Chains A and B, each alone.
Chain A
Amino acid sequence: MITCYIEAIGSFFVRFVASAGQFFLFFMSGVKQIFSLPVQTDKILDHIWFIGAKSVFVILLTGLFTGMVLGLQGYYTLVTFGSEAALGTAVSLTLIRELGPVLGAIMITARAGSAMAAEIGVMRMSEQIDALVTMQIDPVRFVFTPRLFAAVLSFPLLTALFDMVGIFGGYLSGSLLLGINEAVYMDRVIHSVKMTDIWGGFFKSIVFAFVVTTICCYRGYYSHENRQGEFGAKGVSLATTNAVVQSCVCVLICDYVITSFLV
């Protein structure tokens, strides 16, 4: 009985180390290919369009409503202390330091990350990745590197958009709806946000770009190697689910780790 437990723990540990190593090698190989020539300009632009431009609408929508809800909640909390004038500070700092990068990354994961995992998973299941190998084309360079490069460029820009729209949302609910003086709100926003806050948010969004893209592409790329032994459509759906769940969890964990170093 005890040997069974020891075996199970040992097997789990071996599997964990093996997949962590595989993940790290996949990531390093993708990063290395960013610097190899020729630059895959067409593919990078395609993915910037897909990850970046096509996510604008969802980012605008979530950013606006997040800012509006922060305005509402912030107002009713602050008003009990008679410090509703600090709403601009609360909304802008919350968005720029935390919610912008985190919620932005989660929304991009839901929209583009799931698609990456599914697309690469289908390529794996239909032997398109094997076909690349037989053609002497590096599959990691072909499927992962352009997406990684595009994500690293797109995530900070989308985060900036999320922050701006969110601050505007806070203004809508705080000033237009609840009557906080517009000038006070904007003055607090301008004077409380420092460049270190903005750089911190951007740094987080770049880290999230690496995390989300690597997990989603890795899950799709190895969709044929799952422990449940699922193949075909089920293998792809499992890879997509795992990619989204693990990306979101890792974004939140990374956010805590980075924040603990930044504060």
Chain B
Amino acid sequence: MTTPFIQFKNIKKQFGALEVLKGVNLSIAKGQVTVVIGKSGTGKSVLLKHIVGLIHQDSGQLLIQGEPLDGLSKEKSCRFKNKTSYMFQDNALFDFLTVYDNIALPLKETSKIADAALQQKVHARMKQLGIDGIDNKYPSELSGGMRKRVALARALVTDPEVILFDEPTTGLDPIRKKNVHTMIKAYQKQFGFTAVIVSHDIPQIFDLAQHIALLDEGIILFEGSGQDILHSKIPGVQAFIQGKSSMEHE
């Protein structure tokens, strides 16, 4: 059996008295699209933020290719984090920077890339995502869909091996949602990165996912493929997919 690229081993996280993650076990394979679904407020984003070090677990281990992230040498940890991009739910674009500067920022700040090469790379990404020609606009001047694409361009500009998407389609209309899904699928195929997506787009997201994990009450209730989840007999899984609340059952 191959070692998972990223593995959560009995991860627990508590905020004050609120226990969000109660022992999460999850394996993420390299080069695959893993989708984490679950009710709002169950800790999906918290789970994702552990991978980039924005949140640290209270107990348990987060393994990167079999090695604990906390125990990695500074060099190895930096190498992993440099290869990881995070796309925030609300985009987290810098409102005081133009679209071009937003996309160029990670390369400008962390590499010694020449201006001409940087310009070429940023414009290539902008063209691929259909946002060329808006270099000098500010995020506040763009529509929600455009901002999402700018955030995606920023996430892709460093040629990452892992991209973490925190609800990438929140606030988008169904057509744009589909476009974002298609875009992620196409780019994942083209660049071969490992994608972890937190999403509520059920069942549309199942077309994109190669692996699905359902987070419920702080634990992974289900793991498997899109087909598996549709036929799962685990109590609570079908109810969640079909959008039935516990009150309806009663």
Asked whether A136 and B78 contact (CB < 8 A) given A126-B92, A127-B88, A131-B88, the answer is yes
Contacts of A142 in B (CB 8 A): 109
Contacts of B94 in A (CB 8 A): 123, 128, 131
A128 touching B106 by the CB < 8 A rule?
Answer: no
Contacts of B85 in A (CB 8 A): 134-135
Number of A-B contacts (CB under 8 A): 46
Contact code string A118-137 (vs B, CB < 8 Å = 1, else 0) = 01001100111011011111
Contacts of B53 in A (CB 8 A): 133
Shortest CB distance B55–A (Å): 10
Contact of A137 among B49, B93, B106 (CB under 8 A): B106
Asked whether A131 and B86 contact (CB < 8 A) given A137-B105, A142-B109, the answer is yes
For residue B54, CB closer than 8 A to chain A, the reply is yes
Contacts of B81 in A (CB 8 A): 134, 136
Contacts of A127 in B (CB 8 A): 88, 90, 92
A135 touching B88 by the CB < 8 A rule?
Answer: no
Contacts of A130 in B (CB 8 A): 49, 54, 88, 92
A136 touching B110 by the CB < 8 A rule?
Answer: yes
- Which B84-99 residues sit within 8 Å CB-CB of chain A? 84-86, 88, 90, 92-96
Contacts of A136 in B (CB 8 A): 78, 81-82, 106, 110
A126 touching B106 by the CB < 8 A rule?
Answer: no
Shortest CB distance A213–B (Å): 18
Asked whether A134 and B109 contact (CB < 8 A) given A127-B90, A128-B92, A128-B94, the answer is no
Contact code string B199-223 (vs A, CB < 8 Å = 1, else 0) = 0000000000000000000000000
Smallest Cβ-Cβ distance to B157: which chain A residue: A135
Smallest Cβ-Cβ distance to B51: which chain A residue: A134
Smallest Cβ-Cβ distance to A123: which chain B residue: B94
Most-contacted residue by chain A among B92, B94, B110 (CB, 10 A):
B92
B110 touching A135 by the CB < 8 A rule?
Answer: yes
Chain A residues within 8 Å of chain B by Cβ, number: 14
Contacts of B105 in A (CB 8 A): 135, 137
Contacts of B92 in A (CB 8 A): 126-128, 130-131
Smallest Cβ-Cβ distance to B112: which chain A residue: A38
Shortest CB distance A123–B (Å): 8
A133 CA / B109 CA spacing, docked (Å): 12
A108 CA / B54 CA spacing, docked (Å): 34
Shortest CB distance A151–B (Å): 19
B86 touching A134 by the CB < 8 A rule?
Answer: yes
Contact code string A39-54 (vs B, CB < 8 Å = 1, else 0) = 0000000000000000
Contacts of A126 in B (CB 8 A): 90, 92, 95
For residue B52, CB closer than 8 A to chain A, the reply is yes
A137 CA / B111 CA spacing, docked (Å): 11
A135 CA / B93 CA spacing, docked (Å): 12
Contact code string B28-62 (vs A, CB < 8 Å = 1, else 0) = 00000000000000000000010011100000000
Shortest CB distance B118–A (Å): 14
Q: List 21 A-B contacts (CB under 8 A).
A: A126-B90, A126-B95, A127-B92, A128-B92, A128-B95, A130-B49, A130-B92, A131-B86, A134-B54, A134-B81, A134-B84, A134-B86, A135-B85, A135-B105, A135-B106, A135-B110, A135-B158, A136-B82, A136-B106, A136-B110, A142-B109
4 tightest CB-CB pairs across the interface, nearest first? Answer: A134-B86, A131-B92, A127-B92, A135-B106
Given A126-B95, A134-B54, A136-B106, list of 5 further CB < 8 A pairs?
Answer: A127-B88, A130-B54, A131-B94, A134-B84, A135-B106
